[in-house]
Chain A
C-alpha cells in the first residue's frame, strides 16, 4: 500500500497544482473583494498540503506496517472482467440516443449477466426484458419522464 499511497499523493499534488495554476487565468473583477479565483485557490492549496502529508506519511511508514495494495493490473482476471464490463456499459449508454433505451437495454443486461458468469440463457433473456420493461414503464408512464427512444421515437 506504501507505493500506492505515494502514487495517490503525487497525483493529488499534480491535480492541486494544476487547479491552482488555472485559477490565475480566471477573470478579475473590479471592486469585488474576492473573485471567482479565491475559493478554488485555497482549496487547491488545502489539497496540496494534504497530499504532501500523505506522501510524507507513506515515505516514513516502515515495511512492517505495509499491507498489499489492491491491483489494477490488466493481467488480473477481475480487472479484465471489469474492463470488459466498462466496455459494455459505455457502448450501452452511447446506444441510448441512437437505438433507444428499449432496444439497447435487454442486450446490454444480457451481455453483463453473461460476463458475470450466468449461463441460464432463457432466464437471462426474461430477466433482461423484464427489467427493461419495469424501469421503462415506471419512469415513462408512472412518473411521466421522457426516456430516450432512439429509433423508436415517433412510434412509442
Chain B
C-alpha cells in the first residue's frame, strides 16, 4: 500500500472548511432524522443542489454527514416520543421509550448515541477493509436469496412479540396482509382497495407515524389524568463505564450484522436493527427484561442501523449498485460531480475512495459531537408537561405524515392507523411485528414470485442454493431460540408473581 498516496488522499478531508461542511451535514442529519416523517434520503436529496458548487470531498462529506447523522437522529424521537424518527430506528422504540418513561431518557439517549457512533465507526472500518469481499457476497443475491433473507427477518417477530406469542403472530400476519393492499408489483392488479392512495401499497411512513405516535397521543388523551410527569435524569452525555461494559457485546454483534445486511442491496437499517435486537435478546441472560428498557436492546438496534450506513456504501462504491435509497441518492451526487461509482473508480480515482472512507469516519465523529451537545436539550423534551407535549406531538406527527408525498390521504390514513394501533395496544397486541411485516412483506412476496417465475414454479430448488439454505437454517434456529426464550420469560414472570 502506498501510504504517501493514502495520506495525500485523505488530507483534504481534514481541511477546516471540509470539517465544517461535514459538521453541518451531521447537524442537519440529526435534525431531519429526529423529525418523524422525514428520512435521511429526503435530507440528502434536499441538500444535493447546495453541494453543486462544492468540491467532491466537501460535497460527499456533507452528504455522508446527513446520512450518518440521520441514522442516529431517528433514535431521539424513538426514545422521547415513541415514534421512530426514521424507519431504521423502529427497533429502538422497544427499549428506548420504556427507559425514557422510567425517567432515564438521558441515559437512553447517551446509550443510543454511543452505540450509533461505535456501530458507525465499526461499519466504516469494515467498509474500508472488507468492501471487495462483502460486495462479492452481496452480488450473489438473487430473488431466492432475498426471499429467504426476508423469511429470516420475519422470524424475528416471535422475539418482539411481547407477552403473548399468539398475539405477536397475529400482529405479524395482520401486517403482512396489510402489506398486500394496493397494486401488485408483478401483475399490476389492484388488491383489496381501489383507492388512489393505496396504488403504491400501504403508505409506510404514515403507517409508522399512526401506529407509534398517534396511538400514543390517543392513549395519553384517554389517560392524561393518571399520567405522571416524567423527569429525565442526565448524569452525562455519554454512557457510564458500567453501561459500556453491558452493551459492548451487543454493539460488536450489531455492527457486524448491520454491515453485512447493509451491504445487501435492498436490505436496509430497519431489517438490520430488528435482526440485531433479536440476536441480543437471544444471547441475553435476562431476555425477559427486553422491552422494559434495557441498555442492550437500545445498543443492539442503534449499532446495527448505523453500521448499515457503512455496509450500504460497499456495493455502491465497488459495484456502482446502491445498497439502499440513501446510497441511490448519493450515486446521483457522485455523478453530478463527474464520478461514476463502480469498479473503475478503484482503478481511476482511488484518492476519492480513500477520501470517502475517511469522510465516513469523520461523519461519525461529527454526529457524536452534535449528539453530545444535544443530549441535554433533547432530554428536556420529555420533561415538558404532557398537556403541552401531546398537542405538539400530534401536530408534528400529522405534518410528518403529510410531508413525504404532500398528500392529505396520508394524513387521514395515519389517523386511522393511530386508532388501530391504540386499540391493538390496549388489548396487548404488539405493534412492532406489524411494522416489521410492512417492511418485509413486499420484499418477501415480490422475490418469492420472481424466483418462482424464473424457476418455473419449482419451489424445492430453493434448497439447492447455499445462501438460501443458510438463511432458512438461521430462521429455523432463530424461531426455536425465540420460542425457548419466550418460555423462559413466561416461567420467570410466573415465578416473580406475574409482573414483568
A interface residues with partner B (beta carbon < 8 Å): 1, 4-5, 8, 12, 15-16, 19, 22, 26-27, 29, 32-36, 38-40, 43-44, 46-47, 50-51, 53-54, 57, 69-70, 72, 77-79, 81-82, 85-86, 89-90, 92-93, 96-97, 101, 105, 108-109, 112-113, 115-118, 127-128, 131-132, 135, 138-139, 143-148
> Would A50 and B187 count as touching, CB distance under 8 A?
no
Contact with A along B156-171 (1 / 0, CB 8 A): 0000000000110110
Please tell me which one of the listed residues A1, A39, A109, A143 contacts residue B180 in the complex, with CB atoms under 8 A apart.
A39
Please tell me which one of the listed residues B170, B224, B408, B457 contacts residue A50 in the complex, with CB atoms under 8 A apart.
B170
Q: How far is the CA of A70 from the CA of B424 in the complex (A)?
A: 11
- Of chain A, the residue at the smallest CB distance from B49 is A144
Q: How far is the CA of A29 from the CA of B42 in the complex (A)?
A: 37
Residues of chain A contacted by B52 (CB below 8 angstroms): none
Q: A36-B184, A46-B173, A85-B221 are in contact. List 11 more A-B contacts (CB 8 A).
A: A19-B192, A27-B189, A50-B166, A51-B170, A57-B166, A70-B427, A77-B225, A78-B223, A93-B415, A116-B390, A127-B388
Interface of chain B: mostly helix, strand, loop or mixed:
helix
Residues of chain B contacted by A50 (CB below 8 angstroms): 166, 169-170, 173
Q: Can you sample 12 A-B contacts with CB below 8 Å?
A: A12-B170, A36-B184, A36-B189, A46-B176, A81-B221, A81-B222, A93-B412, A101-B399, A112-B221, A115-B221, A139-B399, A147-B399
Count residues on chain B whose CB falls below 8 Å from chain A CBs.
Answer: 57
Contact with A along B421-439 (1 / 0, CB 8 A): 0010011110000000000
Most chain-A Cβ atoms within 10 A of its Cβ — which of B177, B189, B408, B448? Answer: B177
- Of chain B, the residue at the smallest CB distance from A93 is B411
Q: Which 7 A-B pairs have the closest CB atoms?
A: A33-B457, A47-B173, A36-B184, A85-B221, A78-B222, A112-B391, A82-B222
Most chain-A Cβ atoms within 10 A of its Cβ — which of B170, B411, B415? Answer: B170
Residues of chain A contacted by B223 (CB below 8 angstroms): 78
Known: A43-B176, A147-B399. A72 touches B426 (CB 8 A): yes
Most chain-A Cβ atoms within 10 A of its Cβ — which of B176, B192, B394, B457? Answer: B394
Contact with A along B122-138 (1 / 0, CB 8 A): 00000000000000000
Interface of chain A: mostly helix, strand, loop or mixed:
helix
- Of chain B, the residue at the smallest CB distance from A45 is B173
> Would A97 and B408 count as touching, CB distance under 8 A?
yes
